[in-house]
Amino acid sequence: ALGLLPLGKIQSPESLLDIAAREVAEKWPFQQVEERFERIPEPVQRRIVYWSFPRSEREICMYSSFNTGAEDPAAPGGVTA
């Protein structure tokens, strides 16, 4: 079979907005996008922000980890300089 989907499953193509927002999110931090462009429509902003977040559980765990090994309980504030 040529990649047929199971009965009842319909696959729709990605929108141009999602494709473009994903490409932007992969290349630039959202802050740079905001600073560079004066006016970004809200739906476009939402999609860029959506695609800016990691997708896999492994990446989410990696980016959400607070234990970076840089903490030193003896240093003022608990962080090494």
State the pTM of this model: 0.58
In this predicted model, what pLDDT tens digit does every residue of 34-81 receive, in sequence order? Answer: 999 989 999 999 999 999 887 788 877 877 776 555 555 554 554 444
For residue 73, the one-letter residue type is: P
Q: Would you list the domain boundaries of the chain? A: 16-55
> What are 64's two structure tokens?
């959400």
Q: Which residue from 32, 70, 23 is spatially nearest to 51, judged by alpha carbons?
A: 23
